[in-house]
Every structure is written in structure tokens, then in C-alpha cells.
Structure 1
Amino acid sequence: MVTYIARRLLIFIPVLLGITIINFIIVNMAPGNPVDMYIDPNMSPEIAEAKKEALGLNDPLFVQYIKWLGTLLTGDLGYSMSSYAPVARLVGERIMPTVTLGLAALVLALLIAVPLGIISALKQNTKIDYLVTGLSFIGTSIPNFFLGLALIYIFAVNLGILPTGGMQKLGGDGGFGDRILHMILPAIVLATGIAGRKVRYVRASMLEVLKQDYLRTARSKGVHEFWVTNKHALRNALLPVITVVGLEIPILLGGAIITEQIFQWPGIGQLTLQSMMSRDYPTIMALNLIAAIAVLGANLLTDILYSAADPRIKVG
């Protein structure tokens, strides 16, 4: 296992390098640059050109990338071109809110999807199965921005029982209870799509496992149906689900961009949108690097969990 993990970590290095090259090219291909975002009618072309030169924007793309990579290898993510603050500090302030929100949404989604998927499989081709399947399609299809605005209108504007956004009450102490209240709506929005997808995975996997001979043998020995379903069948049915849970990491990060903006949640998603709007290249590159590391790390963790869940599967 240790050898496998070490080998995978070594493979990460060229993969990350390739990702950064592609991201750097794509980011710089976008129209406009940081200086263009702050040009006013009174700024002369000479001043604008001098500012580009000072920021290194006139250097060839290859030179810009080498400079950025050299700075990264020293452990420095550079400085924001919009706020002139260290990128490491900006990202550090935003990463924990996004991680907290993402984990809450993922746990909530699994708590919904696993029971519903099991019930749907056990009640195959019944009204309950059709209802659960229909709800899963709705959850998968509904856009985050639409669901977020609808929840704000219902629970914050009309009922007034939940806050409209932010991570804590203005002027409040930011206690645990206050943050939970502010997290409910954005977590529901992110969890809805995940739960919709996972219900179908759990249902399909459960249906496949329920056909296996060893379950019929367990029933013939007098094992109660509850234990047949929840002990023998569920463990094997969840193996494919473990794999696809790791694939939710990039989806969570992508969904967080819209969701965090709607609910003004001060996380990575909101910072990503702000950086894109201001053409803040160093911050965008740092966020892309973090996203790539998160995806690669999630894939490795998925393989390890898959092996732990089924001892018959060996990694190496």
C-alpha cells in the first residue's frame, strides 16, 4: 500500500505540471488583462503600457509561465493583481469555509441518497420506485442558481426563518449555531444535485447485488431480511458508490462558484468568480492548482477506501 501511494504521488508531479501549463495558456487566452479592468478615461496609453510592463504582462507567455512556476517552487503563490495582497493569504482565508460547506453538503447528500436508493431498489417498479427516481432526476436537473434563489425567497424572504446569506450574522459573534443556520440553505443547494445522482447509483448497484446467490443462501439459512439487506447487500452495493463519490470533488468546487456567490458565502468559489472578473492571473492560477490537487487527492483516496471496503481488492 505504501509503495502504491508513493508511486501515485510521483505520478502527480508531471500531471500537475501539465495541468498548470494548460491552465496558464487558457487563462491568458481570455480577452482583457488586469490593467484593462482599471483603465479610466484619464489614463494615458503610456501609463497603461508602463503598468503592463511593471506587471510583466508584456513578456512572452512562456517567460510569464516560467516566472510563475519559479515563484511557486519557492512556496510563494505570488501577489494578487487586483488587491495586491499575498495570494496565499487570500486563499487561506477562503479555503476552510468552502471545505466546511462542501463536506456538509456531501454528508447531507449521502444521508439522503443511500436510504432512498435502497428503498427504490427494494421497491423496484412500484409507485415508490417511480417517485424516488423522478425526484432524483429533478434534483440532478435543477440549476443551482434557480434552487438557491427559490430557497432564499421561501425561507428567508417569506418565512424569515433562515438568513439570506453570509457565513454569520452581521455584528454577531460567529458562534457554531449561527454558522449552522447560515450554512443550511447553501448546503441544501449543493446536496440536491449530488443526492439526485447518487440515488441512481445506489439503486442500480443495489439491484445488481440483490440478484447474487449468496443473498438467497443467507435467506435460506433464516437470516432476517433486515440483516440480509443492510449487512450483506449494502456493503457490496456501496463499493461502486465509493468510486463516484470521489468524482464529486470537482463538481462540488464548480457548483460552489455559483452557490457561494448567491449566498455570499466567503469561500473559494466566490474568490474564483471575483478573480475571473478582475483578470487576477496569480489568484486564478493558485485556485486552479488547488482544485487539481484536490481532484488528484480525491482519486487516490477513493482507491484506498475502495480497497479498505473490499479486502479482495488489492492496490499496487
Structure 2
Amino acid sequence: MGTYIVRRLFIAVPVFFGITVLSFLIMNLAPGNPVDMLINPNIPKELLELKRERLGLNDPLYAQYANWLSGVLQGDLGYSFSSYAPVSRLIGERIGPTLLLAAASLLFGLLIAIPVGVISAVKRNSKLDYFLTGITFLGISIPPFFLGLGLIYVAGIQLKWLPTGGMTTLGGDGGAGDVLLHMILPVTVVGAAIAGKKVRYVRASVLEVLGQDYLRTARAKGLRELAVTNKHALRNALIPVIAVVGAEIPLLLGGSIVIEQVFQWPGIGQLTMEAILSRDYPILMGLNLIAACVVLLTNLLTDVLYAAADPRITYG
């Protein structure tokens, strides 16, 4: 396993650099640049040209990329074009709330999807199965931003049970209880979307495993149905689910942009929108760098979890 992990890490290096090159090219091919955001009738063209020169925007693309990559290899992500603050500090301040929201939402979604999927498979073609399947399709069909706005209106504005946005209460102590209260609505929205998609995979995987011969043998030995399902069937059924969950993590971080805008959550989603609107290239490249690392590490972790879940899987 150790040799396999090292080999995968070596393979990830050129893939990583390829992602950064494509991201840099696509970003620079988009119309507009940071200086264009500053244009107004009162700014002389000479000052705008000087600004481009100081930001290095007049350099060839390969020179701009080489300068950025040189800084990254030295642990420097550069400085924001709009706020002139270090990109590493800006991302560091925002990534914590996003990781907290993503982890809580993923956990909440799986805590719903796994038991519901198992129950739906065990009670297949029953009224309970049809009911759970219908709820699942409803959860998939409702766009997260629409559900978020609906919950804000009902639970936040009409009933006044929960805060409608932010991570803490203005003027409050900002303690764990306050943060937890602000997490309820966004975690519910994101977790519901995750659960709706994962219930189908869990149900299909459990149904496939329930028909295997080794489960019939376990029942013939006198094991209770609960033990057969939870101890023998569920572990093997979760193997294909691991791949789906692994692919969900990068999408979860990317999808945080919409949810963070709806709930005014101070994470990298809001930072991404601000950087896009201001054409802040260093921040966008820093965020792409993190996204590439998350995708590559998640794929590696998924393969490792395969072997942990199924001893039959070995990596040479």
C-alpha cells in the first residue's frame, strides 16, 4: 500500500501542474482584467497603463505563469490585486468556515442517506420503500438555493426560530453555540441535497449485495436479519458508495459558492465571487490550487478506503 501511495503521489505532480496551466490560460482568456475594473473618466490612461505594468499584466502569459509558479514553489501565493493583502492569509481566513460547513453537511447527509437507503432496500417494493423513494426524488428535484430561500423565509423571517445568515451574531460572543445555531439552515440545505443523491446509491448497492450467496449462508447459520444486514451486507455495499462520496467532496467545496451567497456564510465561496467580479487573478489561482489539491488527495483517499472496506482489494 505504501508503494502504491508514493507512486500515486508522483503521478499527481504532472497532473497538478497541468491543472494550474489550464486554469491560468482559461482565466486569462476571459474578457476583462483587474485594471478594467478601475476604469472611470477621471483616471488618465497613463496611470492605467502604469498600473498594468506594476501588476505584470503586460508580460507574456508564460512569463506571468512562471512568476506565479516560482512564488508558489517558495510558499508564496502572491498578493491580491484589489486589497493588496497576501492571498494565503485571505484564503486561510475563509477556508475554515467552508470546511466546517462542508464537513457538517456531508456528515449530516450521510447520516440520513445510509440508514434510509438500507431500510429502502430491505423493505423493497413496499409502501415504505415507495415513500422513501418519493422523498428522495423530492430532495433531488428542489434546487438548493430555492430550498435555502424557502427555509430563510419560513424559519428565519416568519417563525424567527433561526438566524437567516452569517456565521455569528453581530455583537454576540461568537461562541460555539452561536455558530452551531447559524449552521442549522445551510447544513440542512446542503445535507438534504447530499442525502437525496446518495440514498439511491446506497439502496442499489444494498440490493445487489442482499442477493449474494454468502448472505444466504449467514442466514442459514441462524444469524438474525439485523446482524446479516449490518455486519455482512452493509460493509460490502458501501464500497461503491465510497467512490460516490469521494467524488462529492470537491463538488461540495465548489458548490459552496451558491450556498454561501444565500446564507452570507464567510467562506471561500464568497471570496471566489469577489475575486471573479474584480478579476483578482492571484486569488483565483490560489483557489484553483487548493481545488486541484483537494481533487487529487480525495481520489487517493478513496482508493485507500477501498482497501480498508474490502480486504480482497490490494494494490501492487
- The TM-score normalised by the length of structure 1 is 0.98
Once the two structures are TM-superposed, the CA of residue 134 in structure 1 deviates from its matched residue by 2.1
CA distance in 2, matches of 1:20, 1:222: 57
Q: Secondary structure at the match of 1:272?
A: helix
Letter of the 1:185 counterpart: L
CA distance in 2, matches of 1:41, 1:189: 44
CA contact (8 A) 1:209 1:237 kept: yes
Once the two structures are TM-superposed, the CA of residue 141 in structure 1 deviates from its matched residue by 2.7
CA distance in 1, matches of 2:154, 2:281: 38
Q: Report what 2:227 is aligned to.
A: 227
Letter of the 1:146 counterpart: F
Q: Secondary structure at the match of 2:164?
A: coil
CA distance in 2, matches of 1:62, 1:135: 52
CA distance in 2, matches of 1:82, 1:132: 49
Once the two structures are TM-superposed, the CA of residue 139 in structure 1 deviates from its matched residue by 1.8
Q: Report what 1:27 is aligned to.
A: 27
CA distance in 1, matches of 2:251, 2:136: 17
**Could you give the per-residue CA deviations for residues 267-303 of structure 1, whole angstroms, max 9, x where no partner exists?**
1111111111110000000001101101111111111
Once the two structures are TM-superposed, the CA of residue 143 in structure 1 deviates from its matched residue by 1.6
CA distance in 2, matches of 1:198, 1:150: 23
Q: Report what 2:139 is aligned to.
A: 139
Once the two structures are TM-superposed, the CA of residue 127 in structure 1 deviates from its matched residue by 2.2
Q: Secondary structure at the match of 1:35?
A: helix
CA distance in 2, matches of 1:49, 1:94: 32
Q: Secondary structure at the match of 2:34?
A: coil
CA distance in 2, matches of 1:88, 1:41: 34
CA distance in 2, matches of 1:33, 1:189: 35
Q: Report what 1:283 is aligned to.
A: 283
Once the two structures are TM-superposed, the CA of residue 100 in structure 1 deviates from its matched residue by 0.8
Once the two structures are TM-superposed, the CA of residue 240 in structure 1 deviates from its matched residue by 0.9
Q: Report what 2:42 is aligned to.
A: 42
Q: Equivalent residues in 2 for 1:213-252 (5 A)?
A: 213-252=213-252
Once the two structures are TM-superposed, the CA of residue 14 in structure 1 deviates from its matched residue by 0.4
Q: Secondary structure at the match of 2:84?
A: coil
Q: Secondary structure at the match of 1:247?
A: helix
Q: Report what 2:10 is aligned to.
A: 10
Letter of the 2:229 counterpart: T
Query: Is 1:270 the counterpart of 2:270 in the alignment?
Result: yes
Once the two structures are TM-superposed, the CA of residue 45 in structure 1 deviates from its matched residue by 1.7
Q: Equivalent residues in 2 for 1:13-92 (5 A)?
A: 13-92=13-92
Gapped regions of structure 2 (runs ≥ 5): none
Q: Report what 2:295 is aligned to.
A: 295
Once the two structures are TM-superposed, the CA of residue 128 in structure 1 deviates from its matched residue by 1.8
Q: Report what 2:149 is aligned to.
A: 149
CA distance in 1, matches of 2:179, 2:34: 34
**Could you give the per-residue CA deviations for residues 176-226 of structure 1, whole angstroms, max 9, x where no partner exists?**
111000111111111122111110000000000000011111112211111
CA contact (8 A) 1:215 1:228 kept: yes
Q: Report what 1:187 is aligned to.
A: 187
CA distance in 2, matches of 1:43, 1:150: 44
Once the two structures are TM-superposed, the CA of residue 137 in structure 1 deviates from its matched residue by 2.0
Q: Report what 1:307 is aligned to.
A: 307
Q: Report what 1:101 is aligned to.
A: 101
Letter of the 1:263 counterpart: F
- Where does structure 1 differ by over 3 angstroms across 4 or more consecutive aligned residues? none
Letter of the 1:39 counterpart: I
Letter of the 1:298 counterpart: T
CA contact (8 A) 1:303 1:315 kept: no
- Identity over aligned residues, as a percent? 66
CA distance in 1, matches of 2:31, 2:139: 35
CA distance in 1, matches of 2:4, 2:208: 30
CA contact (8 A) 1:144 1:255 kept: no
Aligned-residue RMSD, C-alpha: 1.0
CA contact (8 A) 1:148 1:186 kept: yes
Gapped regions of structure 1 (runs ≥ 5): none
CA distance in 1, matches of 2:250, 2:133: 24
**Could you give the per-residue CA deviations for residues 108-135 of structure 1, whole angstroms, max 9, x where no partner exists?**
0000000110111112122222222222
